[in-house]
Structure 1
């Protein structure tokens, strides 16, 4: 096998690895394929871009440069570009794997495979470059040898540090930023909010649940809705994290998930994570546990609404226009009807209490 054939062979291996990395990155965006351990990692974004999209773009870029390497008239520059891209990828992966190990405390299998592919590409590329690098360095004086070694080392270290630094600056857990925690379903553009204040173990709240479901279903085009807990019963706190997770992450299926949560609450006051995962799976979604900081924000959000509106009983419905400040309060299961809430929504939309 001559050098040209060897070069073609290794370029083919690099191209296949890049393709594999792109495919794995794309597959990680299919939530049905995600394990419960990887959902927390997937809440992270990179400068507000989904991690899966970034992974696909990165490997497509590597693949393009690998193809160009075989046809470029001045391959030295393209080798440097490929070296920088691979090393930056290594720096970024080291940072993100560190976040998973020390912050999330869970390892996403897709992320681990992607990191492994980047590491293999880096090792293979380093091995391929070692011999020509040594030949180039030996082709000059001792001073030139030191200078060239330092130049190559500086490129690698700079790219590695840049990858880690960019990841540090750009990686953000999507559900911990205040503006991203959106516990509303329905018409997100509406200034009218319908806030259901309930307790998971309140008998009157349970009676009002069918009416609340009907209200959300039939008025979803007129307002946005959320469910918060006053937590009169101590065990209700145990369902706050799951309820908030479903409100944030599974808006389309929230009502179905809420019914399932009530069924589970009737069986146990202390749901385990495994029970919540099974519940979500039966509803066709994946349970995504929220960081403690997000749960605390959810509790603060609920406490602020309850305090400002002076609400001290459940079930209660607060209908408020955030632009005009107009609001209406309906209390008790008998007062919470589709007709009553519909009239309240229309009234506050016009700026009337």
Structure 2
């Protein structure tokens, strides 16, 4: 084994340690790369990514030379692992190219304000690999390769872009979903029926984004008391194994007049929500434990939750949380100030229509 893989002259034992370290980093990097391409299939990792940002979802659509980044990442780490065992001098070239790639990807994600946990992890693995491969005499060689790679990736990295106006005009327009026709259960509604502004919320109790926005919702509703009607609709995603069951439990709590209080506890817990925990929440709110337990064990509201999911499909909702204000879909997830601005705007529009 060449002494290339170590930062200073060492024994054969030191070479072997460095080689094994790089190999382990390669295995970890390849695993993370593959997982980044399949993370949406695994609820736990999807939750982790969503809690961090939507960067994972955005980078999933990135390509380089026509290949998804996760495929190139897995191939890169496989190539690096092979080089340290069979042709060590090539490791400097491979790691240098990897540093440039990760630098450009980091720059892109920072500009988009969409950090990706998988990208960060693989960036760390590449830097650590460079630490094991680096020797001072190879500094300029590695730097030149990193700069070249940075430029090439900058030119070749492709991101999904919205359709051009001409393309959009050619697409067949879809009818706007009629939110006013959605079936409404008054137990899951706050505010008067004649309020000038109606907000419809589609949410999931295991969705990290739903938890964050729930804090803003609790603050904004009292500000518009009497002028705002808030309608809650369940939309538990399949990737969240406890979400549908939690939605049933909240409806069981509604039987005893504690829907909104129970909802607060679900969002606060957010993680795994087994039946034992759902029953603990009921006890915490002073609900009739026997009635609540029977409601939950008999799946009393399973069909109702499934019907709410169908309502979401009919409204073309594809993510949580999703909001409609007076029938108009909201882009993204509003902050407290964003909600206030949009509701104020809807109030002004409602006032203008009456005049």
What TM-score does the superposition give when structure 2 sets the normalisation length? 0.39
Which one has a bigger Cα radius of gyration? Answer: 1
